[in-house]
Amino acid sequence: MPEHRAPGVRAFGLLGLVLAASVVGAAPRIAKVEPPNWWVGHSLNPVRLLVRGSELEGARVLATSPGLTVGTVRVNTTGSYLFVDLHIGPDARTGAQELVVQGSSGRATLPFALEAPLPRAGRFGGLSSDDVLYLLMPDRFANGDPANDDPDRSKGLLDRSKGRYYHGGDLRGVIAKLPYLKDLGVTALWLNPVYDNSDRLNTKEQYGEGAITDYHGYGAVDFYSVDEHLGTLADFRELTERAHALGLKIVQDQVANHTGPSHPWTLDPPTPSWYHGTPERHLDNPWQTWALADPTATTALQRPTLEGWFVNLLPDLDQGDPEGRRYAIQNALWWVGATGLDAIRQDTLPYVPRDFWRDWSAALRDEYPQLTVVGEMWDDDPALVSFFQGGIARYDGIDSGISTLFDFPLFAALRRTFAGGQSVRGLARVLAQDRLYVDAARLVTFVGLHDVERFMNQKGATPDGLALALTASFTLRGIPMLYYGDEIGLPGGNDPDNRRDFPGGFPGDSRNAFEASGRNATEQALFEHVRRLTKLRRELAPLRLGRTLQLAVEERTWCYARVLGNDVAIVALNNGAEGTTVECPLESAWREAHGWTDRLLGAAALELVDGRLRVGLGARRAAILTPSR
């Protein structure tokens, strides 16, 4: 098989590294090999191994397995990291490979395996507007394996009474609740990161409550391992397989911008430019993302946002380092290939250079053409958010290749409108800026997620307001997302209160909200509302695939249509405190309908007068209307 490089991956510079040569010393010792395995016939070939250990100065790498060719070996100046390219020929065989690191005073086995690629059918499927996404935090969703609650290697990090400690949720808990999620009607699951995080208390990140844990998964200390509190890589694979068997997709949360503060690299980086700065000396991130989209901004103005450490704590990876760049690309490919997942949510997207995303995305598309990447670009301004969606070269000449983004502008407007009581016109104005996006139909819409207080904690929020917000999110263009617990109106303030345990997911819980018997009347009504919305999305193609037409907007009422060919679904909303009649002007083709039916609640009073559909709605109510022909 001819050699292929990941797009944009350069040959390694020699700064801070030395080519292997004969040096007298002790026998080499191997602590870790990344990646631990690769695939025969993969589009990225050769694969570059990062070997961590000691006494690696002067080492050579030897391969006796058929089909393997070893490239140039490069070792850092301290002898603690070795890089080597391994070309995998067409005659290579799957299984454990015979590789050794040969030093001047001995040798060590280099553990590495080749695997056959997972079958493509039913895997790597990507996301589309046919999907409904469900975000859950594994530690807070359900405990399916109490044996990993307080593992031997990381004792003392479990305490459900503390918001920033581990609570015992895990991957087996998610597996156990797959039937619940299928019944709810969602089609894809986004899990917060499952990377291995620190085995010790985090004393560097302080919130006035003493040391905390990295239960959330965003403080990675090992990008090739699952955290022991959550389970194993085998558990993650099983979750993906069993989800796929039920028709559910899996979205992995990945982080290419930074590591956790306790990552071993912070004390001994593989190259001098692995990070931007050091724990003692680095830039603080000012979060000036607007400067990245500004063609008049200088490099000096943009640099702190690209190189600064998130919250002045999380070590910022330098994607300009060719070895670090290659590492991140391979790591993303490895997780997809090892588990069969369908999409990636990429954390802190704008703080990484766009030329890196171009190369990273291209490498993923080469191997997994249908895979979707959803980027986190947090801002209320559609003009800024839209800049980061791929599909077109921007002022810098770069097409990032990022499939789509979270619709933070719509999220903010939904909360202002249906919790804060502001004019519905604000929502219509956000939709009017869809022209700025390469493809607004792929945006992920939502009313809550793990970084903000729960909808029900917003000033003015009510269950009826949440139901209206969800109705809009599920019937407007895009891919709707539900944050775990919002289907029952779970309350919660800012982090970590917004990450409460799902009631009934843990031993000793006083009630089980995974079952109807464990929900109160208000929770059950919201749950059934969500189920109706997911059912209607399945049944009504215009809600998933149709173009949007805004028909009428007033201070408290809104009427819009989703149109697909000759099919139409009209959505009417009343955000007022009193009942009213919403008048929806009909396009001429729709006036031929014999009648209209409210598919959401069946309670709307309908009257057709002079080409206008008059919809009588109660206070804080909505209708989803389809014609009878």
Same structural domain, 594 and 460:
no
Same structural domain, 88 and 161:
no
Helix-helix angle 354-367:322-339, to 10 degrees:
40
In a domain, 470, yes or no: yes
Contact 463, 489 (CB under 8 A): yes
What is the C-alpha to C-alpha distance for residues 557 and 440, in angstroms, rounded to an integer?
A: 23
What is the C-alpha to C-alpha distance for residues 493 and 480, in angstroms, rounded to an integer?
A: 23
Helix-helix angle 463-475:521-539, to 10 degrees:
10
Tell me the per-residue pLDDT of 2-43, one tens digit each, with 9 for 90 and over.
Answer: 333 333 333 334 334 544 444 456 899 999 999 999 999 999
In a domain, 486, yes or no: yes
Relative to beta strand 580-585, strand 612-617 is antiparallel
Same structural domain, 248 and 383:
yes
**How high is the mean pLDDT of the chain?**
95
3-state secondary structure of 332: helix
Same structural domain, 167 and 51:
no
Same structural domain, 198 and 336:
yes
Same structural domain, 90 and 194:
no
Same structural domain, 335 and 473:
yes
Same structural domain, 137 and 253:
yes
pLDDT of residue 6: 39
Within 144-232, where are the H helices? 171-176, 178-184
3-state secondary structure of 76: strand
Same structural domain, 249 and 385:
yes
Contacts of 205 (CB under 8 A, 6+ apart): 212, 261, 311, 313
SS3 per residue for 437-478: CCCHHHCEEECCCCCCCCHHHCCCCCHHHHHHHHHHHHHCCC
Same structural domain, 611 and 525:
no
Tell me the per-residue pLDDT of 547-582, one tens digit each, with 9 for 90 and over.
Answer: 999 999 999 999 999 999 999 999 999 999 999 999
For tokens 């004969």, name the residue: 22
What is the C-alpha to C-alpha distance for residues 469 and 580, in angstroms, rounded to an integer?
A: 18
pLDDT of residue 25: 63
Out of 512, 539, 566, pick the residue that ends a domain. Answer: 539
In a domain, 280, yes or no: no
What is the C-alpha to C-alpha distance for residues 4 and 326, in angstroms, rounded to an integer?
A: 13
pLDDT of residue 605: 87
Average pLDDT over residues 48-62: 97
In a domain, 266, yes or no: yes
Q: What is the CATH number of the domain that holds 141?
A: 3.20.20.80
In a domain, 287, yes or no: no
Tell me the per-residue pLDDT of 207-233, one tens digit each, with 9 for 90 and over.
Answer: 988 999 999 999 999 999 999 999 999
138-175: b (≥16 Cβ within 10 Å) or e? bbbbbbbbeebbeeeebeebbebebbbbbbbbbbbbbb
Out of 523, 539, 555, pick the residue that ends a domain. Answer: 539
What is the C-alpha to C-alpha distance for residues 462 and 457, in angstroms, rounded to an integer?
A: 9
Q: What is the CATH number of the domain that holds 83?
A: 2.60.40.10
- Tokens for 463, please give them: 């269950």
Q: What is the CATH number of the domain that holds 593?
A: 2.60.40.1180
Contact 624, 600 (CB under 8 A): yes
CB-CB neighbours of 379 under 10 Å: 18
Out of 539, 570, 587, pick the residue that ends a domain. Answer: 539
Same structural domain, 148 and 170:
yes
In a domain, 105, yes or no: yes
pLDDT of residue 592: 85
What is the C-alpha to C-alpha distance for residues 463 and 232, in angstroms, rounded to an integer?
A: 38
CA nearest to 315, candidates 226, 225, 221: 221
In a domain, 367, yes or no: yes
Q: Which domain holds residue 23?
A: 17-115
Same structural domain, 172 and 244:
yes
Q: What are phi and psi of 387, to 5 degrees?
A: -60, -30
* Residue-wise DSSP of 57-68: TT-EEEE-STTE
Task: Report the number of distinct structural domains present in the chain.
Answer: 3
pLDDT of residue 17: 53
In a domain, 282, yes or no: no
